[in-house]
Structure 1
Amino acid sequence: MTRWGILATGYIAGRFAEDLRFVPGAELVAVGSRTRESAELFAQRHGASRAYASWAELAADPEVDVVYVATPHAAHHEATMACLAGGKAVLVEKPCTLDLASSTELIETARARGLFLMEAMWMRTNPLILRVLELIADGAIGEVTHVRADFGAAGPFPPEHRMRARTLGGGALLDLGIYPLSLAHLLLGVPQHVRAWARISPELVDENTGIVLGWNSGAVATLSCGMIGATAVTAAITGTTGRIDLPEPFYRPAAAVLHRAGAEPETIAADLTGGGYQYEAIEVQRCLAAGLIESPLVPHSATLEVMALLDDIRARIGVSYA
C-alpha cells in the first residue's frame, strides 16, 4: 500500500484525490493546508484520516510515503522543499516552479537526498498519448515535420484572479502554454530556434501568446496559449507520410485519429477511467516500488528542458516574475 498525502485543498487537489480511487494500492491518509478548517473539510470530503494546519506537519507524518503538491505554482518550490526536508517522495503539480533555477534546485535537492521527485505533467503518463508515441516510433506517419497545438481559455479573469497576478506566476504561458510546449518537446526534443510574441496585460502577464519553434531537422511547431478566448484545444502531429489529430482536450484525449496516405482515417480510442490524474499516481507508485528517484516517463531532464524553454519565451515576450 502506498500512503499518499496531499498538500493544498483547491480544485486540482480534489480532482487528484477523487482519481486516487482508481489507483490500485493507493490510500489517501493525510492532507495539509495553511488553515486547519480547510484541511479538515478536505479530509472529511475525501476520506483522509488526518488533517494538518501546516505543510511542515504533513511532511513530518511518518505514515505518509509520498506527497502530491497541488498549490498554485508560485508556491511549488517552497512546498516541495518542505516535503523533501521531511524525507518525502514528491509529485509536484506542473509547472515544477516559476523558473529554471528554482526547478533545478528542487531536483538537485531530491537527488542529493535520494528522494523521488516528479513533475505532474499528466500528459506524459496518459495511455493514449503513450500509444501515439508508439505509433510514431513505429513509423505510422513517417518523420515528424510539424506540431500544431493550442490552449486558450475564455476567461474573463478579473484583475484579482491568480491568472492575472504577476507575483503568483500569472499569465497564460505557465498555466496553459506548458501543454503545447510539452507536446512539442515530447515529440521533437529541445528546439534550436525559438520565436514568440504576446499581448501583455495591465498586470504585466501574457494574455495571448504565439510561439514558433524550429529544429535543425527542418521540423517546426506552431503553438499558442491565451486567457482571453476559448480556442479549440486541439493538436495535430504531421509527418512525411501521415498525420495524427488529437481532439479536445489534446492533453487528455479520448481518441486520436490517424491519417495515412491512401487509407481511410483510423480512430484510436482509449479505455480511460477517472479524470486522468490516476495515471501519474500509478507511475509514481511504479517508480517507488522499483526504487527509482525519477520517472522514465517524466524524467528530470524533460522538466528542466521545458522550464528552460518557458524562461526563454518569457524573456522574449517581456514577462518577469521577479
Structure 2
Amino acid sequence: MIRWGVVGTGFISHAMLGAIAKSERSVTTAVAGRNETALSGLQAQYAIPNAFTDIADLLSSDDVDVVYIALPNHMHADVTTAVINAGKPVLCEKSLTVTMADANRLSEAVEPSGLFFAEGLMYLAHPLITQLVSLLQDPSFGDLRSVSGSYAADIWKVVNPAGGGTLYNLGCYPASLLHLVVQTMCGEKAFAQRRIAAFGSLNKDGNIQDTAATVRFDNGVMATLQSTDSHGMSHSFEIVTTKGMLRFATNPWLPAAGDNRMIWQPFEGPAREIVVTDDNDAFYHQTRMVERALASGAAEAPRPSPRLKDSMEIMQFLADWEAAARG
C-alpha cells in the first residue's frame, strides 16, 4: 500500500482523495491544512487517521510515503522544496509554479534528490491520451502541420489573485497538450525551437484574464491557443496533419469515467469516431501512475505524463506567452 499525505483542503483535494480511496493500492494516512473546519471535514469524509494544521508534522510522519500538494500554485516551489528536503516523493498540482524563477528553484531541489516528482496534469495519465499518442505515432496519420486549442471557464470570481491569471490556471492545459503533440510527432527538441506572439487583457488584479497566442515552430508547424477565465465553459483542440484532422469531441482535459471521443477526418474518405471507454477518471489514473512509478523506484513519470523536463518546458512556454501577451 502507498500511504499518501495530502497538503491542502480545497476542492481539488476531494478529487484526489476520492481517487486514492478507489485504488486498492493506496490509502490516505494524513492531511494538512490551515483551515481547521475544512481539515476536520476532509478527515471525517475520507476516514483519514491523522490531520495536521502544520505541514511540518505531516512531513515528519513515518506513516506518509508520498505527498500530494494541492495548494495554490504560487506556493508550489516552497512546499515542494520542503517535502523533498523531508525525503518524500511528490505529486504537485498544476501549474508547476507561476514564475520561471520559482520553477528553477523547484527543479534545483528535485533534480539532485533522486526522489519521484510529477506535476499533476492528471489528464495525461488517462487512457484517452495514451490512445492519442498511438495515433500520433502511426505513419498513416501523416506529418504534423498545425494545432489549435482553447479553454474557457467563467471562474474569475473564485480564482486566486496570486495564481498568475488564466495562463497558469487554464492555459496550462492546451499548452501541455500542444507540447505532447509536438514532442511526439516532431521530436524531443522541437517544442523549444519556436517564436510566439500574443495579446491579452488584464483583470482587476493585474493578471491576464483573456489571451490568444500564435506560435511558429522552427520546423514550420503552426499553432494557435486561447485561454480565458472571464467567461464561458468551452473547450476545443484540433490537430491537422498532411493526411487529415483530428479533433476532440469531449473535453480532453477532463476525461471522465465512461466514453471519451476523438474524431479523425481524413482529407479523403469518411470521418471515423475513436471512442476510449474506461471505468475511471483522470485522477484515478494519475494515482495509479504514481503507484507504479514508486513501486518500480522511478524518479519521474513515464510519458505521456509529464517528466520534470517536460513540466519545465511547459512552464517556459507559459512564461513566454505571458510576456508576449503583456508586451
TM > 0.5 fold call: yes
Q: 1:304: Cα distance to partner?
A: 0.6
Give me the CA root mean square deviation. 1.7
Aligned residues: 313
Aligned partner of 2:225: which letter?
L
Counterpart of 1:239 (choices 213, 238, 241) is 241
Counterpart of 1:259 (choices 246, 261, 265) is 265
Partner of 2:188: none
* Structure 2 unmatched ranges of 5 or more: 183-190
* Structure 1 unmatched ranges of 5 or more: none
Structure-1 separation of matches of 2:128 and 2:280: 14
Partner of 2:252: 250
Partner of 1:89: 89
Question: Is residue 293 from structure 1 mapped to residue 299 from structure 2 by the alignment?
Answer: yes
Question: Is residue 175 from structure 1 mapped to residue 169 from structure 2 by the alignment?
Answer: yes
Structure-1 separation of matches of 2:318 and 2:266: 33
Write out aligned runs for 1:215-230 (5 A): 215-230=217-232
Normalising by structure 2, report the TM-score. Answer: 0.91
Question: Is residue 309 from structure 1 mapped to residue 317 from structure 2 by the alignment?
Answer: yes
Provide, for residues 59-94 of structure 1, a one-character-per-residue CA deviation record: whole Å limited to 9, x for no partner.
111111111100111111222222112211000000
Q: 1:231: Cα distance to partner?
A: 5.1
Partner of 1:284: 290
Provide, for residues 179-203 of structure 1, a one-character-per-residue CA deviation record: whole Å limited to 9, x for no partner.
1111111111334111111011232
Secondary structure in 2 aligned to 1:271?
A: strand
Q: 1:133: Cα distance to partner?
A: 1.1
Aligned partner of 1:42: which letter?
L
Structure-1 separation of matches of 2:241 and 2:295: 37
Provide, for residues 248-281 of structure 1, a one-character-per-residue CA deviation record: whole Å limited to 9, x for no partner.
4222341111222333222221222343211111
User: Contact (CA 8 Å) 2:91, 2:118: kept in 1 or not?
Assistant: yes
Partner of 1:73: 73
Partner of 1:204: 206
Aligned partner of 1:310: which letter?
L
Aligned partner of 1:280: which letter?
Q
Aligned partner of 1:131: which letter?
Q
Normalising by structure 1, report the TM-score. Answer: 0.92
User: Contact (CA 8 Å) 1:255, 1:269: kept in 2 or not?
Assistant: yes
Provide, for residues 84-124 of structure 1, a one-character-per-residue CA deviation record: whole Å limited to 9, x for no partner.
12211000000111122222222221222221111011132
Provide, for residues 159-218 of structure 1, a one-character-per-residue CA deviation record: whole Å limited to 9, x for no partner.
xx434x2xx124111100111111111111334111111011232111110011111221
Secondary structure in 2 aligned to 1:17?
A: helix
Secondary structure in 1 aligned to 2:264?
A: strand
Counterpart of 2:279 (choices 273, 288, 294) is 273
User: After the TM superposition, which parts of structure 1 deviate over 3 Å for at least 4 consecutive aligned residues?
Assistant: none
Secondary structure in 2 aligned to 1:147?
A: strand
